Amino acid sequence: MSIRIAIDADQVLFDFDGAWRTTAETVLNRELPKRNNNYHLMARYGLSMAEYHKCWAMFHALEMWRHCPVIPDALDAVHGWLDMGNEVFVISAVDTPARKLRQQAMDNLGLRRACLMAVGSKGSKYHALKRLKPGFFADDLWKHCQEAIDAGVPHVVRVSGGHNGGGDPVPGVRVVDGIGVAPCKGVLR
């Protein structure tokens, strides 16, 4: 029996943080040690507002949404789910230009059978999750985990993503290192 699976893109399937940090280090011509586990990049790397915007401008100019490295275990998990006949949806809070680049990245990884859904920058995933009714959802942000719970998703996990999740923990939502780990595999057998 196949199930419907939904996951986030950044820090769940793709190493957005690594790509953004590398871009920022090139732009600023210095190493950026991680100062804390804050979700917000400016605080995490101790950047001024001007530096932060300069780094984002270069990230977009270099079309880095297409070039974020994939997390190998996550890619293996998604391919495994697809090979078992499951439906996989990648729900990402990106705008249209980033969505096109992210689709190209997924296509290059052989993920044409996975459906990419963009909800807009800072967008809610609630309506997409309510409509899809997945059996499993994974995201690195607490707010999206809460939206999944509110939408009735029975199995929700927060992927640690190397940060604090940007909010308060959601009761009943486990934190895992990635979607290829045992708690996720157990739910999706």
CATH of residue 180: 3.40.50.1000
pLDDT in tens, 117-144: 999 888 899 999 999 999 999 999 999 9
Same domain, 55 and 84: no
Is it the case that residue 186 has pLDDT exceeding 90? no
Domain stop point among 46, 65, 84: 65
CB–CB of 140/8 below 8 Å?
Answer: yes
Question: Domain containing 59: what range?
Answer: 16-65
110 and 157 share a domain? yes
pLDDT tens, position by position, 30-62: 999 999 999 999 999 999 999 999 999 999 999
What kind and span of H or E run contains 90? strand 87-92
Q: Is the pLDDT of residue 105 over 60?
A: yes
Q: Say whether both 83 and 166 belong to one domain.
A: yes
Q: How confident is the model at residue 189, as a pLDDT?
A: 52
Residue type, 35: R
